[in-house]
Amino acid sequence: MTRDELKAEMLRHLQYSFGKDPAHAQVRDWRMALSMAVRDRIVEPWFAATRATYSGQHKRVYYLSLEFLIGRLLEDAIVNLGLGQAAREACAALDLDFEAVMTDEPDAALGNGGLGRLAACFLDSLSTLSIPAHGYGIRYEHGLFKQSFHEGRQVEQAEDWLNQPHAWEFERAESSYEIGFWGEVEEKDGRAIWHPGDAVLARAYDTPVIGWQGRWANTLRLWGAKPTKLFDLARFNTGDFTAAAQPEEAARTISRVLYPDDTTDAGRELRLKQEYFFAAASIRDILRRYTSEYDDIRRLPHKVAIQLNDTHPAIAGPELVRILHDEHGLAFDEAVQIASATLNYTNHTLLPEALERWSEGLMRHLLPRHMRLIEQIDDWHARTTKGRTLSAIDQGSVKMGELSFMLANRVNGVSALHTGLMKKTVFAELDRLHPDRIVNQTNGVTPRRWLLACNPGLSGLVTETIGTGWEDDLERLGQLDPHVSDAGFRARFAAVKRANKAHLSDWIGREMGISVDPDAMFDVQIKRIHEYKRQLMNVLDVIATWHAMRGEPGLDWVPRVKIFGGKAAPGYQTAKEIIRLINDVATVVNSDPAIGDRLKVVYPPNYNVSMAERLIPAADLSEQISTAGKEASGTGNMKFALNGAPTIGTLDGANVEIRERVGAGNFFLFGLTAEEAMARREVPDHAGRAIAASPELAQAIAHLERGTFSPGEPDRYRHLAQILRHHDYFLVCSDFAAYHAKQRAVDAVFRDRDAWVAMAARNTARSGWFSSDRTIRSYAAEIWDVTPVEVGPGACVLAS
Ligand code: 26W
């Protein structure tokens, strides 16, 4: 598609799809017009993919996730269709600022963090690999809250991505299902019939997911809740307006907002309603599609593989058993066998507070038939495994991890270390009963969004050096390795990073009024705020460095810009205190004349996918400093390595595999291992001992306690200091000295520009394995037993 064709299409949509006169069009109008013109190019490969799947009777993958952290879609579609140049030129020809058009699109923030973003990367790879697949989730009216800071404190506001036309979805009124709740179960001639007390309508909204080079497109189907009963006109006529609108309100509540917790099981009824609403609608839709093609329900596992993205969709298991047994009349055990040959479950965390447990009372009240079936499934498992000691029902609650495990064909962790720990801890008994069920699938990220789109400078250098083809075969980056010893290549690599840093410095200056030196080291920690991710240890390092700089101003310090980004779950007080501390430290350090440009702290509010795309290409150092054994994998760590930012990190999650692949010499390792951490926690007063052994740490904590960063309220951080001294479950004190010393080692390498650039370039060259294409190929082979559909050259303009 040429520039002129695209320009003409934009003008046509602007005028005829949006009825806007070009003379009066706003950026938003042009963005929508461009989106429509690009979307038109997706429809054909989308239809072709669906037809090919039906005609080839191919097995389908269904990825059920309560979260899809998609971000923006326009640039992603342009890149996947190879329309980058045409789009830039068409916008230029229409005198539009391309960056402004791209950034006008709101993020689809339908997720909290790692789990949701992984789901989005997986959809991109499933389409790129032309594997027939559907993503199923909820169309929240309000995604993850907007974060702003008021006097350093996090303030949450409702996110409102749908308060404007959404370019990428197609409403499917014809695909709606009634989803029941409550009610009772009638036992009639040996059969159970559930009579729900009330119901809502699940309506489908489809978003096409185009793959690399437009060869294939799958569907992301998100469910919106609608009332089964229309507006109650009778009530309205009696003047009882609220009652008249009540059914609508009650229904919409289910898909109104994303739960902002990413590690604590809220255990609220609405959350379980959300989980059942989308799981039941998805199972209905899957079986409707299957029975439209095949008439033997017993062969379901041959044509359908379902992946449960953590336990949030786990109720889909009992729902599938219910329909196979209660509606299709299969014997119970056969229904369970077919279900467990179809279902697979991914665990994303070992944190006890994040493992979902639903009270039996709530489950029985909301889903009476399912609670009965869960008891039967638990019994079936005990019967078939002689594992009487183990139950999914414990002390009045249903453990969704155990239930998902029992009903799964395969269970996987998301990094080698995490999968190993799953076998040794939370699922040790089940692993003993089912030794071949747990497999590892180390996470990955899509190189289209996380390298090609967000870092055109580096992508250009890569293509110049090794040609194209790496975009969907990322381990080709390994061909860069020999070039690292070439000074010219290193110079161009450094120039790309420098340009990205200058671009970010301008943005930080513009958006935050903070001037940062683009030659300083950009040291970045961006992720959800959580004690196990140890943003607190990072800010203690800032305090210790600041104190040392003031103490020895004459030393030749390596200038640093500490960049933080991340939201705290609204109910997580300690995380909110950490946010406030980072902002308070920034206020003091950034205005300290004794420090000047040698140390700056920058914490842009409202970290999201689009901000990650802006920060990661400009990063020098990637902070992956979680307490070993706590971060299941991490995926930000992979994005930084790909974009030429070496890691300072612990042997936790996928850091272990990143270090193995980039080489120990290209990774700044520190800290206790997972085993050592478990042992250290048993040492009496382990924090006190560490503080006594590290004057820098003692000093930093003293600053907290004397209110150095909260002059008006000296006690403001007494609680945080108290946690550090007397609890420190996440071993911040025990790992601090090693961390602080390792940061000095980082300084030493950074001083040697050539050594640093070589290290950075080797991280890029050796991170190809962390492509989500590799991960999906592995799921396809080891879990889903599906193979990519052979497709001819797609609708990709590159081909023409
Ligand atoms: C019930 C509340 C709740 C909500 C979300 C509990 C737990 C979650 C997610 C599982 C948390 C999450 O996002 N986990 C992250 O998943 C990533 C993708 O696998 C991993 O890379 C991260 O290490 C893990 O923390």
Give the closest residue (by CA) to ligand 1 atom 11: 262
Least trusted range by pLDDT, from 125-134, 199-208, 491-500, 787-796: 787-796
Give the closest residue (by CA) to ligand 1 atom 7: 263
Two tokens, residue 713:
């309220």
Q: What residues are paired with 71 via a beta bridge?
A: 108
> Count of CB atoms within 10 A of residue 183's CB?
16
The residue whose CB lies within 8 Å of the most ligand 1 atoms, and thus the one to mutate among 67, 115, 265, is 115
Q: How many angstroms does the Cα of residue 174 sit away from the middle of ligand 1?
A: 34
Residue 280 and residue 177 in contact, taking contact as beta carbons nearer than 8 Å = yes
Helix (H, G, I), strand (E, B) or coil at 437: coil
Q: What is the pLDDT of residues 620-677, one digit of tens each?
A: 999 999 999 999 999 999 999 999 999 999 999 999 999 999 999 999 999 999 999 9
Q: How many angstroms does the Cα of residue 66 sit away from the middle of ligand 1?
A: 11
Ligand 1 atom closest to residue 356's alpha carbon, by position in its atom list = 1
153-157 and 647-649: which strand pairing?
Answer: unpaired
Would you list the DSSP string of 485-528? G-HHHHHHHHHHHHHHHHHHHHHHHHHH-----TTSEEEEEES-
Q: How many angstroms does the Cα of residue 322 sit away from the middle of ligand 1?
A: 28
Q: How many angstroms does the Cα of residue 370 sit away from the middle of ligand 1?
A: 26
The model's pTM is 0.98
Nearest to 472 by CA among 118, 800, 79, 784: 79
The H-assigned helical ranges of 149-254 are 233-237, 241-253
The residue whose CB lies within 8 Å of the most ligand 1 atoms, and thus the one to mutate among 69, 265, 274, 310, is 310
Quickly state the pLDDT bin for 793 (edges 50, 70, 90). Answer: low
Q: What is the pLDDT of residues 141-175, one digit of tens each?
A: 999 999 999 999 999 999 999 998 889 999 999 99
Which class for 507: exposed (0-12), middle (13-18), buried (19 or more C-beta within 10 A)?
A: middle
Ligand 1 atom closest to residue 312's alpha carbon, by position in its atom list = 1
Q: What is the mean pLDDT of residues 267-289?
A: 96
Q: What is the mean pLDDT of residues 440-447?
A: 98
Cα–Cα distance for residue pair 364/360, rounded to 1 Å: 6
Give the closest residue (by CA) to ligand 1 atom 22: 634
Cα–Cα distance for residue pair 667/672, rounded to 1 Å: 16
Ligand 1 atom closest to residue 418's alpha carbon, by position in its atom list = 23
Q: In the 3-class helix/strand/coil scheme, how is 382-434 assigned residue by residue?
A: HHHHCCCCCCCEECCEEEHHHHHHHCCCEEEECCHHHHHHHHHCCCHHHHHHC
Which class for 144: exposed (0-12), middle (13-18), buried (19 or more C-beta within 10 A)?
A: buried
Two tokens, residue 134:
């559907």
Q: How many angstroms does the Cα of residue 35 sit away from the middle of ligand 1?
A: 32
The H-assigned helical ranges of 664-715 are 674-682, 686-693, 695-706
Q: How many angstroms does the Cα of residue 276 sit away from the middle of ligand 1?
A: 19
Q: What are phi and psi of 569, to 5 degrees?
A: -60, 135
Cα–Cα distance for residue pair 676/241, rounded to 1 Å: 63
The residue whose CB lies within 8 Å of the most ligand 1 atoms, and thus the one to mutate among 348, 358, 530, 638, is 348
Quickly state the pLDDT bin for 798 (edges 50, 70, 90). Answer: very low
User: CB under 6 Å to ligand 1: residues?
Assistant: 112-115, 118, 261-265, 310, 348-349, 354, 356, 414, 443, 631-635, 653
Helix (H, G, I), strand (E, B) or coil at 74: helix
Percent of the chain exceeding pLDDT 90 equals 93
Which class for 151: exposed (0-12), middle (13-18), buried (19 or more C-beta within 10 A)?
A: exposed
Q: How many angstroms does the Cα of residue 113 sit away from the middle of ligand 1?
A: 7
Measured CA angle at 591 (ends 589, 596), to 5 deg: 80
Structural element, H or E, at residue 6: helix 3-12
Higher pLDDT, 477 or 268: 477
Q: What is the pLDDT of residues 685-732, one digit of tens each?
A: 999 999 999 999 999 999 999 999 999 999 999 999 999 999 999 999
Q: How many angstroms does the Cα of residue 650 sit away from the middle of ligand 1?
A: 19
Ligand 1 atom closest to residue 632's alpha carbon, by position in its atom list = 23
The residue whose CB lies within 8 Å of the most ligand 1 atoms, and thus the one to mutate among 112, 140, 263, is 263
Ligand 1 atom closest to residue 117's alpha carbon, by position in its atom list = 18
pLDDT at 240 over 80: yes
Q: How many angstroms does the Cα of residue 262 sit away from the middle of ligand 1?
A: 6
Ligand 1 atom closest to residue 634's alpha carbon, by position in its atom list = 21
For all residues of the chain together, what is the average pLDDT?
96
Give the closest residue (by CA) to ligand 1 atom 4: 262
Two tokens, residue 793:
């050259």
- What lies within 8 Å, CB to CB, of 561 at 6+ separation is 516, 517, 520, 521, 522, 523, 600, 601, 602
Structural element, H or E, at residue 542: helix 535-551
pLDDT at 794 over 70: no
Give the closest residue (by CA) to ligand 1 atom 12: 115
Quickly state the pLDDT bin for 797 (edges 50, 70, 90). Answer: very low
Q: How many angstroms does the Cα of residue 633 sit away from the middle of ligand 1?
A: 9
Residue 129 and residue 780 in contact, taking contact as beta carbons nearer than 8 Å = yes
End-to-end CA distance of the chain: 8
Q: How many angstroms does the Cα of residue 648 sit away from the middle of ligand 1?
A: 22
Ligand 1 atom closest to residue 113's alpha carbon, by position in its atom list = 13
Q: Strand order in 560-565's β-sheet?
A: 599-602, 560-565, 521-526, 621-624, 647-649, 668-669
Percent of the chain exceeding pLDDT 70 equals 99
Length of the chain: 800
Helix (H, G, I), strand (E, B) or coil at 188: strand
Residue 402 and residue 357 in contact, taking contact as beta carbons nearer than 8 Å = no
pLDDT at 229 over 90: no
What pLDDT does 757 receive?
Answer: 98
Give the closest residue (by CA) to ligand 1 atom 17: 114
Q: What are phi and psi of 125, to 5 degrees?
A: -70, -35
Two tokens, residue 631:
């971060």
What pLDDT does 241 receive?
Answer: 81
Q: What are phi and psi of 404, to 5 degrees?
A: -60, -40
Q: How many angstroms does the Cα of residue 112 sit away from the middle of ligand 1?
A: 8
Ligand 1 atom closest to residue 116's alpha carbon, by position in its atom list = 13
Residue 311 and residue 405 in contact, taking contact as beta carbons nearer than 8 Å = no
Give the closest residue (by CA) to ligand 1 atom 21: 634
The structural domains of the chain, ordered by start, are 1-56+81-105 (no CATH), 59-71+107-441 (3.40.50.2000), 517-752 (3.40.50.2000)
Q: What residues are paired with 545 via a beta bridge?
A: none
The residue whose CB lies within 8 Å of the most ligand 1 atoms, and thus the one to mutate among 349, 399, 442, 531, is 349
Any idea which residue has 């006529």 for tokens?
237
Q: What is the mean pLDDT of residues 570-591?
A: 98
pLDDT at 388 over 70: no
Ligand 1 atom closest to residue 346's alpha carbon, by position in its atom list = 19
Residue 390 and residue 382 in contact, taking contact as beta carbons nearer than 8 Å = yes
Quickly state the pLDDT bin for 248 (edges 50, 70, 90). Answer: confident
Which class for 248: exposed (0-12), middle (13-18), buried (19 or more C-beta within 10 A)?
A: middle
- Active-site positions? 348, 527-528, 533, 635, 639
What pLDDT does 792 receive?
Answer: 66
Cα–Cα distance for residue pair 8/37, rounded to 1 Å: 9
Residue 603 and residue 590 in contact, taking contact as beta carbons nearer than 8 Å = no
The H-assigned helical ranges of 136-268 are 233-237, 241-253
Residue 618 and residue 404 in contact, taking contact as beta carbons nearer than 8 Å = no
